[in-house]
Structure 1
Amino acid sequence: MEIVKGRPLNVKERLKKEVRVYDLLDELDIEYWRIDHEVAQTMEDCEEVDRILDAVICKNLFLCNRQKTKFYLLMMPGNKAFKTKELSAQIQSARLSFAPEEYMEKFLDITPGSVSVMGLMNDTENQVQLLVDADVLEGEYLGCHPCINTSSLKLRTRDVFTTYLNAVHHDYIAVHLGDRNE
């Protein structure tokens, strides 16, 4: 695995949803680095990628309320534990759970294991609210998938939370989740 600046040369061999991520980042003049790798569906799978990218690979969880009327994308450091009750209290939403796969595909055009903030570009009707652990906002860089879990990107945190989110018409709510390595 090697880190490469910018889009892959072989875009014809890539999924359209992945290429759309590179197209948007290039259009927005956002600098990024990329690494191609085997399928990475868990945080453990991302450890070597994390080391090579030298960026915090975010744990991304796609959540919903019990009624399945409100949907959330939670970005948090991979080394933090997720506690539903803690998050529910902060956003005043009872009974958060993992959202069904079909909503992930419908709103974000992403399949399980590939969840990423980049999927918000596909949420043109703003069905998904972005929630971000405050620790993610403190890092200079973050890592995420380009809507597919066989590549990972390294982006400047400020570019994601300003330029990118503005372009895809989303905002975020900062949350404070438990201690790292808890």
Structure 2
Amino acid sequence: MGKSVDELMQYLGDMGIEVSTIRHAAVFTVAEAQNLRGQLSGAHTKNLFLKDKKDNYFLVTVDEDAEVDLKTIHSKIGAASRVSFGKSEKLLEYLGLTPGAVSVFGLINDTQHQVSVVLDEKLMQHDIINAHPLTNEATTSIRREDLLTFLKMTGHEPLILKIDVATPN
């Protein structure tokens, strides 16, 4: 069983990371989240839990408006083959998350480092990044530098790459 929202908040607090969290009705898509969030500043994320044929897993986090080419992303992220979406059982096992609640905060549960994390460079241009805090019934705002600190403290060194194919070179 993965950590709870309260345990995540305690972990962040213990690291001196300040976040703000708003509660809302459960959302399962970017469109639903856009309708609910009001005027939260900063970037809002879209998260892809992917795997290659050798069972290497990746969490790719991009801006909600990003376009991701699943046919070519494998060559960017170092996958052994083309990728597909990881099964919900592995999502729960590795990140302690269910579909709809996928976010970088799930990496707190990946203590065996089974998942590589990839952040889109366009997303990382924002000072504030918003993501689900282990539940799709809330959104947490975190500073970019604090997100990187969180990832490193969980043992995940993120790759920051150009993933959004809609962004010109």
Q: TM-score, normalised by structure 2?
A: 0.91
2:68 paired residue among 76, 79, 82: 82
Q: Give unpaired runs (5+ residues) of structure 2.
A: none
> Contact conserved, 1:18 with 1:146, CA < 8 A, in 2?
yes
1:119 is matched with which residue? Answer: 106
1:57 aligns with 2:80: no
CA distance in 1, matches of 2:70, 2:110: 24
For 1:88, give the aligned amino acid.
H
For 1:38, give the aligned amino acid.
A
For 2:67, give the aligned amino acid.
A
Bigger mean CA deviation after superposition, 122-131 or 44-53: 44-53
Q: Secondary structure at the match of 2:31?
A: coil
2:31 is matched with which residue? Answer: 44
> Contact conserved, 1:113 with 1:149, CA < 8 A, in 2?
yes
Q: TM-score, normalised by structure 1?
A: 0.85
> Contact conserved, 2:21 with 2:140, CA < 8 A, in 1?
yes
Q: What is the deviation of 1:55?
A: 1.9
> Contact conserved, 1:49 with 1:152, CA < 8 A, in 2?
no
Q: Secondary structure at the match of 1:80?
A: coil
Q: Secondary structure at the match of 1:84?
A: coil
Q: What is the deviation of 1:54?
A: 1.1
1:10 is matched with which residue? Answer: none
Q: Deviations over 1:119-154 (max 9, x none)?
A: 101000100000111011110000001100000001
For 1:98, give the aligned amino acid.
F
* Number of residue pairs aligned between Structure 1 and Structure 2: 164
CA distance in 2, matches of 1:29, 1:19: 15
Q: Deviations over 1:71-91 (max 9, x none)?
A: 000000111122112311212
For 2:153, give the aligned amino acid.
A
Q: What is the deviation of 1:16?
A: 5.5
Moved over 3 A (4+): 48-51
